Structure 1
């Protein structure tokens, strides 16, 4: 007679059937059966259990796996606050299109409606943070519930799903078989009549421009965009999550990234364009009321999901289809030799020269720290195209988004939907696990770093090669400089100073102080050559932050 299986066994096997490599989380009595299976399994296909220091950071790590691979990362926690601590991480994942399956322990079914220890309405709580939130009532439904949550998380628009697991359900006997490995869901390309219409619009446009959004960053879509550009060389503007769509060979097509403030070269190019081809664009990245204000040209919206229509975003043509297949059909149907006018090419070349001049490090008479561009230049010289760079939220993230180059999709990661503090280090841990043979860099401010800095212990425990840069100035500076621009003073932004090198050493990581720009290169070289995590504490001079608010466009809206 075969051994009896319970709900935990079924869930464990279901994760293996879907190829889950890692489960991030914290233990607790409601999920200890599942954690015990993961800890002691000798099955080579078993997911590796990664114990973290906080549930929110576990959710960030799972979302990092989702963003890097396009397949759901998994987070598991116990009941009550173990579940509620997931909320920020799951909201961020859902907003920014990162697939995650979250597993939350729950009190036994007959205690759910009582005021018992750690009893909260988990399913209802998570319903607003996820694409779908369910509670399993029968152990025989666990496998199909996980399979559907996995599929829903991955389907466009990707995001988080949540499964509430009562303790007694995980303990109950299971008599049904687990769901097998799911087949990928294929979406068709646009029909030929639509392709013909798109091609005619592109041929008749004076300045067609691609706006590459978050769903342009899959390898398939990126390859199709690059093939289209080889057929017809036109400008491309990336969103923050579209970073890396343009590779080195096509750098002449790169006209910056857009996000936050409407004063970038990308904004100017979009405004001048008489045909914007928005590919995988999501308004949460950069609202159309900013970049589409007072434009007179048309918009083609090409995406795997239907767009959100607003007063500021009403595309003349909406194409809901497989993005890569549709782009390939467009490229194949464009005429050979299609090109922009010589006059326009010269104009774009001059714009690019002006754009590149913004990367030059300014001369300073009395520097009060390291200039942001000095940090970016030093880091740019240290990394290669395979380096994953994760960026937290703060003033540093605006500087990085505008000036740091990345030539592969999903290798420069930003939180630009929720702008969530603390994502960088957890994402870096996910990247170091998923890409173990490539360097990983995490960039954070002193404020955001301490939202998840306790996970430095996790990185040390796993011996992950992560270089953590901390831009240190003693303020929540992204708020500070905007307050000063509005009111001439700041409020509520001063924070205490921390010696981040000693902080790193207390966790068993390497800590390095940098006092000036001249020490940056050697510090980075040492960090990249060191096994395990290194934290570099950099005093940053943000006195040029006001330039981030400078007006490039006459109708710039602050």
Structure 2
């Protein structure tokens, strides 16, 4: 690449990497990049209502495409707003490149309007933070992409000094960037894994987000079937194992986790496969003294004073699983009929309460209307704990949540990005009325982009998860009602029609119409939040 500007080189490099959308709110320093985006085929700028929404959208593009999502924020408040979703990408393990304005070198040590140290701001919430120079545009962006994609994925921040955009550069575009291949695990560690598994009478498989990234679902299921093993999942690993499979034993940490605990309490070894404690620390659910054998791209993170580590296979997850699949030992001592009966009890207790229109009934209707290959994103709240256990998820990526970061306001921007990445796929989001208020302005983005997404708002006028915690402590309900009564208000918001439903039949009719619409539609389900009380925040340890 010769005779071009830094702005054009940045945009061309991102396009050649496979980036199709850059999300953000523009600044004066971003104008040259905007013009480069306008005049470059195959990549577009998406104006968002808030930089936090932009970073959530970039997170989801990274998850769904395998190419780092890209977002932008300006000095000071733009960057701090962007930081919410940047931290989310890092702890939810999504590849992202976060761009921000930065002061020119002469002003970095000066007191100036909107001036803070962006390198210091982003360092704790990214895998790496760096700064662009005219000499190394392609090289810097390639390094950022490789770091974002490799190991446990996450965000990388790249500062763009103001004034650099118009400078000339000959830095070449890096083209498509791939993650570093995981290293082959140590032979001694694999030997310890084989020995620990061979000696165990009732090992259980605990499957996490890293296993989904490694695309080892077939090997996990084959291992369970070969040795007759139960499988528990972390919430963001949903879809790795069908809920109908005889080995399926439920999701850790979410609704009715005490029922899931009946199974893992019987285990004498946990075989952790791509298990990332950012979702739920091992000590939060494993009984004291229970041993572990870990297979992941990172070393195990556990209290070794409570849990003996019999093997720690670090590197290629598939290689560790292959070593177990090659074992010539008889099936283990689990009764999978008992596991199936527990799973049936679990889903039975998640059936709707016939005496009220609650979230269980609403989710059943939505699951029936949404096509199997459709994508449902969700926000954070009591409904997340219900979705994590109840929602039937045919494969990873069809249910999208934030669990490592767990930021309210995630659901709507996530659905917008999912629809941009998968325009021919039905997309919806489930949000509580509290979380909905946090990013409701992104409805304007959905209208501007003409996206047919269905926003299902669970209206109960209640921050239910916190209210339940207050009541468990016998505290008065305080600060958790979203409003005294009523609905989110009006027949439309930001030009998006609002349809209310107070029973399952009305909800079904509204959803069918909404998925057939030309643009975004809000379907407000007027629910009784008391159904959550008996289902969420159960003890995980026996």
Q: Flag whether TM exceeds 0.5 (same fold).
A: yes
Determine which of 78, 93, 96 is the counterpart of 2:92: 96
- Partner residue, 1:362: 353
Q: State the distance in 2 between where 1:230 and 1:440 align.
A: 33
Determine which of 492, 515, 518 is the counterpart of 1:528: 515
How big is the shift at 1:448? 0.2
How big is the shift at 1:317? 0.7
SS at match of 1:272: coil
Distance of aligned partners of 1:384 and 1:190 in 2 relative to their CA distance in 1, 3 Å threshold = farther
Unaligned runs of 5+ in 2: none
How big is the shift at 1:345? 3.0
SS at match of 1:537: strand
Distance of aligned partners of 1:234 and 1:142 in 2 relative to their CA distance in 1, 3 Å threshold = same
- Partner residue, 1:213: 208
**Structure 2 matches for 1:27-66, cutoff 5 A?**
27-41=26-40, 43=41, 46-66=42-62
Contact 1:288 1:313 in 2 (8 A): no
Q: State the distance in 2 between where 1:433 and 1:551 align.
A: 37
Q: State the distance in 2 between where 1:5 and 1:106 align.
A: 21
Q: State the distance in 2 between where 1:246 and 1:67 align.
A: 19
- Partner residue, 2:409: 422
- Partner residue, 1:305: 298
Q: State the distance in 2 between where 1:3 and 1:551 align.
A: 61
Contact 1:292 1:312 in 2 (8 A): no
For normalisation by structure 1, the TM-score amounts to 0.91
Distance of aligned partners of 1:176 and 1:403 in 2 relative to their CA distance in 1, 3 Å threshold = closer
1:114 and 2:110 aligned: yes
How big is the shift at 1:483? 0.5
Distance of aligned partners of 1:541 and 1:168 in 2 relative to their CA distance in 1, 3 Å threshold = same
For normalisation by structure 2, the TM-score amounts to 0.93
Distance of aligned partners of 1:390 and 1:348 in 2 relative to their CA distance in 1, 3 Å threshold = same
How big is the shift at 1:152? 0.9
Determine which of 62, 66, 69 is the counterpart of 1:70: 66
- Partner residue, 2:388: 401
- Partner residue, 1:284: 278
Unaligned runs of 5+ in 1: none
Distance of aligned partners of 1:75 and 1:470 in 2 relative to their CA distance in 1, 3 Å threshold = same
How big is the shift at 1:519? 1.4
Contact 2:23 2:58 in 1 (8 A): yes
Determine which of 487, 490, 498 is the counterpart of 1:502: 490
Superposed CA RMSD in Å reads 2.3
**Structure 2 matches for 1:103-502, cutoff 5 A?**
103-136=99-132, 138-190=133-185, 194-218=189-213, 220-247=215-242, 251-259=245-253, 263-294=257-288, 296-310=289-303, 311-312=305-306, 314-331=308-325, 333-335=326-328, 338-341=330-333, 344-364=335-355, 367=356, 370-496=357-483, 499-500=487-488, 502=490
Q: State the distance in 2 between where 1:381 and 1:177 align.
A: 50
Contact 2:90 2:155 in 1 (8 A): yes
SS at match of 1:431: helix
Aligned residues: 540
Contact 1:276 1:299 in 2 (8 A): yes
Contact 1:258 1:264 in 2 (8 A): no
Contact 2:192 2:310 in 1 (8 A): no
Contact 1:464 1:533 in 2 (8 A): yes
Distance of aligned partners of 1:195 and 1:128 in 2 relative to their CA distance in 1, 3 Å threshold = closer
Q: State the distance in 2 between where 1:184 and 1:491 align.
A: 48
Q: State the distance in 1 between where 2:256 and 2:532 align.
A: 15
How big is the shift at 1:443? 0.5
Q: State the distance in 2 between where 1:175 and 1:3 align.
A: 4
- CA-to-aligned-CA distance 1:178-214 (integer Å, 9 cap, x gap): 3343344222443565445434433432222111111
Q: State the distance in 2 between where 1:499 and 1:326 align.
A: 52
How big is the shift at 1:287? 1.7
